Amino acid sequence: MNNFIKKIFDENNLIIAIPAIIVILIIISFMIYGFSQPRSTTISEIENLLAKQTRLETTMVEEYNEGTYTKTEPFIKVNPYGIAPLSALLMFDTEETTNFKIVVKGKTTDADLEFITGETNKHTIPLYGLYEGSTTIELYEYSQVEALTGEMIYTTNVDIVIAEEDILRLPDATIDTTYEYFSDDFMMLSPATSNLPVAYDYNGDVRWYLNIGLGFGPEFLDNGHLMIGTDRIISDPYYTTGLYEMDLLGKIYKEYYIPGGFHHDLVELDNGNLLVLSSDFNGTVEDIVVEIDRTTGTVIKTWDIADYIPTTEGMTQMWTSADWFHNNSIDFDSVNNSIILSGRHQDAVISIGYDSGDLNWIIGDPTNWDTPNLVEDYFFTPTSPIFEWQYAQHSAKLLPDGNIFIFDNGNNKSKNSENYVSASSSYSRGVIYDINTDTMEIAQVYQYGKELGPDFYSPYISNVEYYTDSNYMIHSGGIAYSSDLGPLNIPAPLYNGEGTIYENSITVELLNDEIAYRLRVSGNYYRAARLTPYNSLTVFTLGAGEALGNQAVTKQYLEPIDKRYTFFDTLPIGYELNVVKQTDRLVVEGIFNRYEEIYLILESDTDKLLYNIPTSRSAYTAMCSSVFQGDERFLTFYVNEEGISGNYRVYLNIDGRQYDTYQVVEFK
C-alpha cells in the first residue's frame, strides 16, 4: 500500500494523477449538483372566476336535486356565486305554475324589499338586500291575475357573517335623505382605491357589496344586468382583460375578452352592442374606442382618437406622451349618430361621427390648440353671462334635449400655468352646457358644486347622472386632504408626501334645485350609480356563464439577447418569483430591481418564445383605480394562451444570465 502511494506521488506520476483527480472531482461535483436539482414540476392551473362560478353552481344544483324542496321547506343558498355576501338564492318546485311574493325585511318597515316572481313551477328567487347578522325572509302566495297577496306560507332568518377583512373595506355612511324621495333604491359606489364595491339604502345601511375589487363601471343594461370591468389586470395601472355581465347575486352570465383591455367606461347601443373604451398599447393608452358584438364578443369596429385630433395640442399639466388624451367617459348620440368622449388630459369633450369618420365639435378651453382653423371650425364660443370652461373633466353625458352634462373636476382652472389655481381655492361641479352646433355657440345653463369650494373638490374621478330635467346626481368621489398640505391637487394614490391622507366621497342628488339626497363616505370612489334592486327586469337563470371575444396574442421579443448559463442556474434568493397558470394565461410575479433587463423564455421541444418583462413604470398623472402592490419593485407579467399550445419549460434571463425555474406550463 505504501509503495502504491509513493508511486502516485512520484514526480513523474503526479503530472498524470493530478489532472485525473481533478476530472474525477469535477464529475462527482456535477453528479452531486445534478442529483440535488429539483425536478421540473408542471404548474397547476388556477381557475378564473367564471370557471369557479360554474363549479359552485354545479355543486349547488346537485345538492338541490338530492333533496325535495317545497314552498314551505325551500332550499336557501347564501352567496351562491362567491362574491356577493349579502345575497342568497331561494329555490323550490310547485306542481302547478304560480307566482309568489318575497319580502326581505328591513331594519325599518320602509326598508323592506318586495318582489313578485314570474309564473313558473321551477322557482329560483334571488334574495337581495340582506344585512350583516340576521335578516328575516317572508314568502307569500300571490295571485298575478287578481294582484292580491295571500297568506304567508314560509318565513326564516338568514344569518350572515361578514369577513373581518371585508368590514375594513366597507366604510360607514353618513346620509341625509327620506324614504319618500329615495324609496327602495340603493346607491352603488365603485371604488378607486382599496375599498370594495358597495351599495347603501336610504338609511345608510350596507345592503349589498362585492368581496372583490371590481372598479370601473357599472353600466346598467337593458336586460337588467350590470356590466363592470373584470378583476383581472392585463397592464398597469388598471387596464383589465374586459368585462363581466352579472346580476346582483354576483353571477357572471358573460365574460367579454377585449384584445386591448377595458378602462373607465362603456355604453350600450340600441342594438345591444357595446361601445367600450380600450387601448392598443402601441406607445399610447386610453385613446381607442371599440364596438363589441354582444352575441360573439368580437371587436367589429375601432376608432383611434389620434385620427381626429392632434395629440400634442391642448396639453394640460397632466398630459404625457403616452396618456395624451386619457379618455374617461363615452356616450352615444343616436340623433346625430355620433360618439361623445371625454379627454381629461386635453380638457376636451369631443364628438366624432360613428360612420363618417369626422370630428364634429370640441367643448373646452381653446388655449394651446394651434392647428390652423381647428379652433375656428370645431370649438364653441361662450354666450352666457355666467360661464366657465371645464377642466380635467369626467362623465360627459348627452341629455335628451341635446345639452351636455359634465363633471367638471376643475384642476388648475386654466391651461396657462401662470394662472393655475391652488387646490385650496378650487372646486368641482356638475355643469350643463347648451350647445348650438349650427352657430357653434355655447351657454352655461346649470351648475352645482362651486358654492361648496374645496370641500367638494375632486382632482380625479367622479360622475354625474341625469334623471329628469329637474333631478340630477353629482358624485364627487376623489376628495382628498393631506394633514400637512390641506386639499390635494393630485389623485390620492399618487401622493407620496408626508402627513396623513384623508379621503372622502360626497354624492348629492338635487330635485328642483334642492338637495334631496346627500351621502358621505370615507375613501375615494370612482363612480356612484343609483339602482333599484328588484324591478320588472329582475330575472335569474341557472346555467354556466359564457366567455366571449378574444384575448390579444402576447407580443414576443424578436431581437437576439445575451444568454449566459450559470453553473448554479436556479434563481437567486430575493426575487420571490411566483409563476401561476390561470385558465387562460400564464402569470409571472416577482420582485425585480428597477432597470434590470429581464426576459421570460418559454421553451418546448419544437418552439421557443421570448418576452421582455419591463421593469420601469411610467410616470402616471392619473390613478382612477389603484391596483399597485405596496412594494414598487413588485411586477406582474402576463402571457395570454391565445396562439399557444403545448408544454413549455419556464426560464428567466436576468441581465444576460439564464435561470431555470424548473417549472413546466401547459397551454391548451
460 and 568 housed in the same domain: no
172 and 102 housed in the same domain: no
Q: What is the mean pLDDT of residues 323-345?
A: 99
265 and 361 housed in the same domain: yes
Number of structural domains found in the chain: 3
The region of weakest confidence among 217-226, 331-340, 427-436, 628-637 is: 628-637
Beta bridge partners of 504: 479, 522
Asked if pLDDT for residue 30 goes beyond 70, the answer is no
What count of Cα atoms within 13 Å lies in the side-chain half-sphere of residue 271?
A: 8
Q: What is the mean pLDDT of residues 326-344?
A: 99
The CATH number covering residue 77 comes to: 2.60.40.3100
Instruction: Tell me how crowded residue 361 is: count the other CB atoms within 10 A of its CB.
Output: 19
463 and 568 housed in the same domain: no
Summarize pLDDT for 544-568 with one digit per residue, the tens: 999 999 999 999 999 999 877 665 6
Binned at pLDDT 50, 70 and 90, residue 10 comes out as low
141 and 242 housed in the same domain: no
Last residue of a domain, one of 522, 549, 576: 549
Q: Which three cell numbers, joined as nine digits, stand for 109? A: 318597515
pLDDT of residue 47: 95
Summarize pLDDT for 99-133 with one digit per residue, the tens: 999 999 999 999 999 999 999 999 999 999 999 99
The CATH number covering residue 594 comes to: 2.60.40
Binned at pLDDT 50, 70 and 90, residue 586 comes out as very high
Query: Dihedral sign, CA of 440, 445, 447, 450?
Result: positive
527 and 590 housed in the same domain: no
Q: What is the mean pLDDT of residues 287-309?
A: 98
Decide if 27 is inside a domain. Answer: no
Q: What is the mean pLDDT of residues 149-174?
A: 96
pLDDT of residue 14: 53
Binned at pLDDT 50, 70 and 90, residue 7 comes out as low
Asked if pLDDT for residue 141 goes beyond 80, the answer is yes
Q: Which three cell numbers, joined as nine digits, stand for 548? A: 366571449
Q: What is the mean pLDDT of residues 444-468?
A: 98
Asked if pLDDT for residue 32 goes beyond 70, the answer is no
Closest CA to 284 of 345, 241, 242, 203: 345
Decide if 28 is inside a domain. Answer: no
395 and 314 housed in the same domain: yes
262 and 367 housed in the same domain: yes
Between the CA atoms of 41, 47, 51 and 57, what dihedral angle is there, to the nearest 10 degrees? 100
Closest CA to 525 of 176, 197, 83, 84: 197
368 and 267 housed in the same domain: yes
Last residue of a domain, one of 488, 516, 549: 549
The region of weakest confidence among 2-6, 232-236, 352-356, 475-479 is: 2-6
621 and 571 housed in the same domain: yes
**Are the C-beta atoms of residues 127 and 157 closer than 8 Å to each other?**
no
Binned at pLDDT 50, 70 and 90, residue 5 comes out as low
Look up the domain containing 128 and give its range. Answer: 68-160
Summarize pLDDT for 348-387 with one digit per residue, the tens: 999 999 999 899 999 999 999 999 999 999 999 999 999 9
Asked if pLDDT for residue 335 goes beyond 50, the answer is yes
Q: What is the mean pLDDT of residues 26-55?
A: 75
Asked if pLDDT for residue 633 goes beyond 60, the answer is yes
Per-chain mean pLDDT for the chain: 93
Summarize pLDDT for 464-488 with one digit per residue, the tens: 999 999 999 999 999 999 999 999 9
Secondary structure, 3-state, 328-386: EEEEEECCCCEEEEEEHHHCEEEEEECCCCCEEEEECCCCCCCCCCHHHHHECEECCCC
Summarize pLDDT for 381-406 with one digit per residue, the tens: 999 999 999 999 999 999 999 999 99
> From the centroid of its chain, how far is CA 545?
19
539 and 596 housed in the same domain: no
Q: Alpha carbon of 165 to those of 81, 212, 232, 497, 630: distances in Å?
A: 19, 11, 20, 27, 17
DSSP string, 96-151: EEEEEEEEE--SSGGG-EEEEPPSEEEEEEEE--PPSEEEEEEEEEEETTTTEEEE
Q: What is the rounded CA–CA span in Å between residue 150 and residue 139?
A: 10
Q: What is the rounded CA–CA span in Å between residue 326 and residue 360?
A: 19
Instruction: Tell me how crowded residue 482 is: count the other CB atoms within 10 A of its CB.
Output: 17
Asked if pLDDT for residue 446 goes beyond 60, the answer is yes
pLDDT of residue 1: 56
Q: What is the rounded CA–CA span in Å between residue 617 and residue 412?
A: 26
Question: Count H helices, E strands: the chain?
Answer: 6, 45
The region of weakest confidence among 9-18, 40-49, 542-551 is: 9-18
Asked if pLDDT for residue 658 goes beyond 70, the answer is yes
Closest CA to 259 of 273, 246, 241: 241
Q: What is the rounded CA–CA span in Å between residue 316 and residue 349?
A: 14
124 and 258 housed in the same domain: no
Q: What is the mean pLDDT of residues 85-89?
A: 99
Residues 6 or more apart in contact with residue 524 via CB below 8 angstroms: 191, 192, 193, 458, 461, 477, 478, 479, 480, 491, 492, 503, 504, 505
Angle at 187 between CA 482 and CA 544, to 5 degrees: 115
Residue with cell 348620440: 333
Last residue of a domain, one of 492, 518, 549: 549
Q: At 381, which amino acid appears?
A: T
End-to-end CA distance of the chain: 64
463 vs 493, which has greater pLDDT?
463
The CATH number covering residue 362 comes to: 2.120.10.80
